[in-house]
Amino acid sequence: MRIVPALCDRAIPLERRRWASGAVSLDAALAGGLAHGAVHEIYAAEVADAAAAAGFSAALMAGMTGQVRTSLWLRSRRAARQGGSLQASGWAELGGTPGRGLVGIVPDALTLLRAAVDALHCPTLGTVVAESWGRMPELDLTASRRLALAAEKSGTTLMLLRIEADPVPSAAETRWSVASAPSRALAANAPGIPTFDITLLRQRSGPSGMSWRLEWDRDQCIFRETALPGAVVPVSFGGPVADRAGGAMSQVA
């Protein structure tokens, strides 16, 4: 199933690189940042954190894709029913470029995975999000390895957004748990900055089990660390760490 065949006419070579998130200790734990051309799993800590996990995924998409390349958000029909509509204005509020965003809705989990593999064969895409709700037995080790190999080959990054699901073994580069967090109060009761509590559950090579509270800077498209209540600030491998606008998102089904 080809979701975006017109985008795949020209292959753009892309060396494997990392995206520096702006959060110093987080990037240190990831050996420089989140890897491009890899699969990253993002789990909502609870069903009530679905919006936070989706917002975190959208922030990563904005930061890792930039304003030149195209992003694709794939959803199962169940995800579309339970998660609500994706809005271009919300995407723009997180720093994304709606005119370079596509949404694909597919019938079921198996089609979602097939569409994700197809999308990862398209190096003109910067990032792909595949959103699913509930258990997904179709995503076994074989399927996740297929996704990881396709991402590595093209340099396109895949985020598997999992809601109402428990982590299972996979070939993902990193695995995260995301929960909503209270925003800092702003002047005149203005809406607070998007804030997330995240935990690095696993990475293929490197430390895991660390947690951060991050604020998203939509103008710079980076995260900023803020203190977790009662938490110890994570450290790097070598020791302590020193102290846009509207538009329409196209949808295909």
pLDDT at 180: 95
Two tokens, residue 36 = 């491009």
Domain 25-182+192-235 is in which class? alpha beta
CB contact set of 6 (below 8 Å; sequence gap of 6+): none
CA torsion sign for 216, 167, 162, 49 is negative
Return averaged pLDDT per consecutive 10 residues of the chain, 253 residues in all.
43 64 96 95 97 95 85 94 87 85 94 96 91 95 96 95 94 97 83 92 93 95 83 40 38 47
CB contact set of 63 (below 8 Å; sequence gap of 6+): 19, 21, 95, 221, 222
CB contact set of 230 (below 8 Å; sequence gap of 6+): none
Confidence (pTM): 0.83
- Hey, what amino acid is at 116? A
Do 177 and 43 meet the contact criterion of CB atoms below 8 Å apart? yes
Do 160 and 49 meet the contact criterion of CB atoms below 8 Å apart? no
pLDDT at 229: 66
What φ, ψ does residue 113 adopt, rounded to 5°?
-65, -40
Q: How far is CA 129 from CA 26, 55, 187, 235, in A?
A: 21, 12, 34, 29
